[in-house]
RNA sequence: GGCGGUGUAGCUCAGUUGGUUAGAGCAUGGGAUUCAUAAGCCCAGGGUCGGUGGUUCGAAUCCACCCGCCGCUACCA
């Protein structure tokens, strides 16, 4: 009896491009869906762009277009990116849709009727210039604890303090730079705690992986608090029923977007949405990253419980992607967009590589370029593609592309391949793709050894019949391996199906044997990957660089550093240089190069550790004006916190020459 | 700070309920081949399984402590 399975991946935020980190999840989910389809189950894969909220409103403003236009453009890009990586959604919709509006209002009203919605006054930050309420991350100012400048409105990246935005020293709107005002507003809240018991039962029943459940325990122990689900206008989102200037917070309507996508699909395809989504006979699964566990493990099921919808059977949580062991980084060129990747490399390489690393654990997976190139060349090309490549053309030359029958040896090879079918099925079902890939790899080794032992290139001359049975066995092995790999490598599978002249492979085909069958022309299945292509992709991903712009070669003069690559006025604008007066200067005990300077920059005083002790006597500096790199991220040094850098030239040691403005400049003045 | 995760060959990772000389792929060295996308096959080198102590006849596997790295710390998206 086929299962009916509805699956979702998290909705990507419509504020930027899809990158290779996103793709971990969509590839993981897509493999799962394709596997189930191959087992004959009825599957539906729904997703959408997450389109609401302040960041999108601001991005649209910056682009000078309406938010609707902005998200339409992103939707087009996202859809193309996913298609390029063979992510096979049944519907890739948007949260800015009539279906989502209707469902959001329905769920809100039902929660309200259930008594789970309350109102509380909330202090909020408002920018009168931009005429909008500011989320904490759009307010910046000086940390009230350590004095670090330019910190977010809720926490300090330098000392780690968390605080309220109202406590920030010299707060300013990060968009226009003016000080915001503080005001009070009534917000709607969802009483999450009403559902604590039901949520606990859900997790006890195995809603998530165990490590996720442990994390949830922590949250339960800390106590569930009311969730703020409204935002004051202007806001890009859905208006709350009965309100003029209040909107649903983006995270309220985002998960409802899963349902809206399903509903839109049902309406277009003559299916009953309520039956598909809500029938207990149907299975529902969400795939998400560990960063949004709170929303999907607590808020979302509680919302569904409170509004009379069933909750998912299971929430599958995965970890993040690191590249070469480190966080993805724009400056290192490892923040790679899906579209950039696809311009340089075959998307199936990445699908295979991710599959070879994915397990059901909530662990980060690492994309190591060296490992990536190795796996593609030795596995995809050396094992799988090669198996077809060393048998197909020979069958064509010697036997007119017609398969014979199997002998005992060949049947044994096939038996070894089909024996692990259940193991592979369990691996896919349980998200242990890494195990699946390892198992398949071992089978391919077995098949390659089989070719080696039977030497069809020799028997072709002495015993053609034997050569034919060998090649028949090998190509049957290719067929079985392709079935196993098809969820991961759909395009590869398609090529093999064409080459073998067979119908699209299903899991049940594992037990069939292809004999006395005419096959098609062999076509190369994979190309080897050159490490230079990876390098080129990384270079193109480095921020601020355009692929074609070769930096002019700077002339080399002995003793003088070459001029660095060109940058723009915008790059320079990030650097805030100020005139500063040296208030005090003293040698740092225990350090022979450092001077501890206290600088007056007009609005504040800064501590700076400067490595100029060998060139300047401390007392000679007091009272002088210097140039300060004022917005350099503060750095905790062995001898204290340094909050900036003073500018100087010279090779170092005793030859250091501090820069100074001409007479008349005052502390705090901007240098540009 | 608290909580969670993690640390196994140069690299990426497996190691089932604790059980004989700790495995794979890549990389490295050697060999025999040539059907094949400089692919495939055979052999070899390489690890005190983060550290210390403990439980046990026996621990990479269980316990304690320590060290390193990563993440989370909610009304931020």
- How far: A68 CA to B74 C1' (Å)? 30
Q: Is strand B in 7 Å reach of the CB of A525? A: yes
Q: Is strand B in 7 Å reach of the CB of A41? A: no
Nucleotide nearest to A432 (CA to C1'): B14
Phi and psi at A124, nearest 5°, equal -135, 160
Tokens 């596995």 correspond to A379
Task: Note whether A298 and A325 are within 8 A (CB).
Answer: no
For chain A, the distance separating the N- and C-terminal CA atoms, rounded to the nearest angstrom, is: 73
Q: What DSSP character marks residue A8?
A: E
- How far: A449 CA to B54 C1' (Å)? 48
- Protein residue with the closest CA to the C1' atom of nucleotide B6: A363
- How far: A376 CA to B12 C1' (Å)? 13
The reported pLDDT for the residue numbered A558 is 33
- How far: A433 CA to B13 C1' (Å)? 13
In DSSP terms, A46 is beta-bridged to: A8, A91
- How far: A629 CA to B38 C1' (Å)? 54
Which stretches of chain A drop beneath a pLDDT of 70? 145-146, 156-162, 543-575, 588-593, 614, 631-641, 650-655
Q: What DSSP character marks residue A114?
A: T
- How far: A386 CA to B40 C1' (Å)? 8
Could you give the C-alpha distances from A66 to A73, A133, A174, A226, A235, in angstroms and in order? 11, 19, 21, 33, 12
Nucleotide nearest to A220 (CA to C1'): B74
Question: Hey, how many other C-beta atoms are within 10 angstroms of the C-beta on A98?
Answer: 10
What is chain A's alpha carbon radius of gyration, rounded to the nearest angstrom?
31
Residues A436, A443: Cα–Cα separation, whole Å: 11
The reported pLDDT for the residue numbered A306 is 93
- How far: A427 CA to B16 C1' (Å)? 15
In this structure, are strands A4-9 and A42-49 parallel, antiparallel, or unpaired?
Answer: parallel
Chain centroid to CA A423: how far? 30
Q: Is strand B in 7 Å reach of the CB of A383? A: yes
- How far: A516 CA to B39 C1' (Å)? 28
Residues A359, A437: Cα–Cα separation, whole Å: 11
In DSSP terms, A314 is beta-bridged to: A285
Residues A374, A528: Cα–Cα separation, whole Å: 10
The reported pLDDT for the residue numbered A369 is 87
- How far: A333 CA to B64 C1' (Å)? 44
- Protein residue with the closest CA to the C1' atom of nucleotide B72: A291
Residues A458, A452: Cα–Cα separation, whole Å: 10
- How far: A459 CA to B43 C1' (Å)? 26
- DSSP string of A599-611, one letter each residue: EE-SS-EEEEEES
Q: Is strand B in 7 Å reach of the CB of A366? A: yes
Q: Is strand B in 7 Å reach of the CB of A438? A: yes
Nucleotide nearest to A370 (CA to C1'): B11
Q: Is strand B in 7 Å reach of the CB of A290? A: yes
Nucleotides of B under 7 A from a protein CB: 1, 3-6, 11-15, 24-27, 34-42, 70-77
Range 244-263, chain A: CB under 7 Å to any strand B atom: 249-251
Residues A644, A505: Cα–Cα separation, whole Å: 63
Q: Is strand B in 7 Å reach of the CB of A223? A: yes
Range 137-156, chain A: CB under 7 Å to any strand B atom: 137, 154-155
Q: Is strand B in 7 Å reach of the CB of A54? A: yes
Range 634-663, chain A: CB under 7 Å to any strand B atom: none
Q: Is strand B in 7 Å reach of the CB of A53? A: yes
**Which spans in A39-97 are helix H?**
54-63, 67-84
Nucleotide nearest to A389 (CA to C1'): B36
Nucleotide nearest to A320 (CA to C1'): B71
Q: Is strand B in 7 Å reach of the CB of A295? A: yes
- Tens digits of per-residue pLDDT, A78-129? 999 999 999 999 999 999 999 999 999 999 999 999 999 999 888 888 888 8
The reported pLDDT for the residue numbered A349 is 94
Nucleotide nearest to A474 (CA to C1'): B35
Contacts of A64 by beta carbon, 8 Å cutoff, 6+ apart? none
Could you give the C-alpha distances from A376 to A37, A168, A373, A440, in angstroms and in order? 26, 51, 5, 14
Q: Comparing C-alpha atoms, which of A154, A141, A235 is closest to residue A188?
A: A235
In DSSP terms, A585 is beta-bridged to: A597
Q: Is strand B in 7 Å reach of the CB of A215? A: yes
Residues A299, A199: Cα–Cα separation, whole Å: 10
- Tens digits of per-residue pLDDT, A215-263? 787 778 777 888 889 999 899 999 999 999 999 999 999 999 999 999 9
pTM for the model stands at: 0.81
- How far: A609 CA to B47 C1' (Å)? 44
Nucleotide nearest to A394 (CA to C1'): B35
Nucleotide nearest to A455 (CA to C1'): B35
């Amino acid at each position: 009896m086929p299962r009916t399975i509805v699956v979702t991946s998290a909705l990507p935020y419509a504020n930027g491009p899809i990158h290779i980190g996103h793709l971990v999840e969509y590839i993981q989910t897509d493999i799962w869906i394709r596997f189930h389809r191959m087992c004959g189950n009825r599957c539906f894969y729904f997703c959408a762009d997450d389109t609401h909220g302040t960041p999108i409103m601001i991005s649209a403003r910056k682009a000078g277009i309406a938010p609707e236009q902005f998200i339409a453009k992103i939707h087009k890009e996202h859809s193309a990116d996913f298609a390029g990586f063979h992510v096979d959604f049944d519907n890739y919709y948007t949260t800015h849709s009539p279906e989502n509006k209707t469902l959001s209002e329905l769920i809100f009203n039902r929660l309200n009727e259930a008594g789970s919605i309350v109102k509380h006054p909330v202090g909020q930050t408002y920018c009168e210039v931009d005429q909008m309420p500011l989320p904490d991350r759009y307010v910046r100012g000086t940390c009230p604890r350590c004095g670090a400048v330019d910190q977010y409105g809720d926490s300090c990246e330098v000392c780690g303090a968390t605080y309220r935005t109202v406590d920030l020293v010299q707060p300013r709107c990060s968009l226009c730079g003016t000080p915001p005002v503080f005001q009070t507003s009534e917000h709607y809240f969802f009483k999450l705690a009403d559902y604590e018991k039901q949520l606990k039962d859900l997790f006890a029943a195995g809603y998530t992986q165990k490590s996720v459940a442990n994390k949830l325990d922590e949250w339960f122990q800390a106590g569930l608090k009311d969730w703020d689900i409204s935002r004051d206008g202007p806001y890009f989102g859905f208006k709350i029923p009965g309100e003029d200037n209040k909107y649903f917070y983006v995270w309220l309507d985002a998960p409802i977007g899963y349902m809206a996508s399903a509903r839109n699909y049902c309406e277009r395809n003559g299916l009953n949405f309520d039956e598909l989504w809500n029938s207990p006979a149907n299975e529902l699964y969400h795939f998400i990253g560990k960063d949004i566990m709170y929303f999907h493990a607590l808020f979302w099921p509680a919302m569904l419980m409170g509004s009379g919808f069933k909750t998912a059977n299971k929430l599958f949580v995965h970890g993040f992607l690191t590249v070469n062991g480190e966080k993805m980084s724009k400056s290192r060129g490892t923040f790679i967009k899906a579209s950039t990747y696809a311009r340089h490399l075959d998307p199936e390489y990445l699908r295979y590589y991710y599959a070879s690393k994915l397990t059901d654990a909530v662990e980060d997976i690492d994309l190591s370029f060296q490992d990536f190139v190795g796996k593609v060349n030795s596995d995809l090309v050396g094992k799988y593609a090669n198996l077809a490549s060393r048998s197909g053309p020979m069958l064509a030359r010697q036997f007119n592309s017609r398969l014979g029958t199997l002998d005992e040896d060949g049947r044994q090879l096939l038996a070894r391949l089909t024996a692990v079918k259940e193991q592979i099925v369990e691996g896919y079902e349980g998200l242990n793709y890494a195990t699946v890939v390892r198992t398949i790899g071992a089978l391919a080794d077995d098949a390659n050894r089989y070719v080696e032992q039977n030497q069809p290139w020799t028997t072709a001359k002495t015993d053609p019949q034997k050569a034919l049975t060998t090649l028949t066995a090998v190509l049957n092995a290719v067929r079985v391996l392709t079935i196993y790999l098809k969820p991961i490598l759909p395009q590869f599978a398609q090529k093999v199906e064409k080459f073998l002249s067979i119908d699209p492979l299903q899991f049940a085909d594992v037990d069939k044997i292809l004999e006395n069958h005419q096959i098609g022309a062999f076509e190369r299945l994979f190309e080897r990957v050159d490490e230079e292509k990876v390098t080129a992709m990384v270079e193109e991903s480095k921020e601020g660089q355009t692929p074609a712009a070769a930096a002019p070669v700077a002339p080399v003069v002995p003793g003088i550093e070459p001029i660095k690559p060109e940058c723009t006025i915008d790059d320079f604008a990030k650097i805030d240089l100020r005139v500063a007066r040296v208030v005090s200067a003293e040698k740092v005990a225990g350090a022979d190069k450092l001077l501890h300077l206290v600088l007056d920059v007009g609005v504040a005083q800064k501590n700076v550790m400067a490595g100029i002790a060998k060139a300047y006597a401390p007392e000679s500096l007091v009272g002088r004006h210097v140039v300060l790199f004022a917005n350099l991220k503060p750095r905790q040094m062995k001898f204290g916190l340094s909050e900036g850098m003073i500018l100087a030239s010279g090779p170092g040691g005793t030859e250091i020459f501090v820069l100074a403005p001409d007479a008349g400049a005052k502390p705090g003045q901007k240098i540009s």
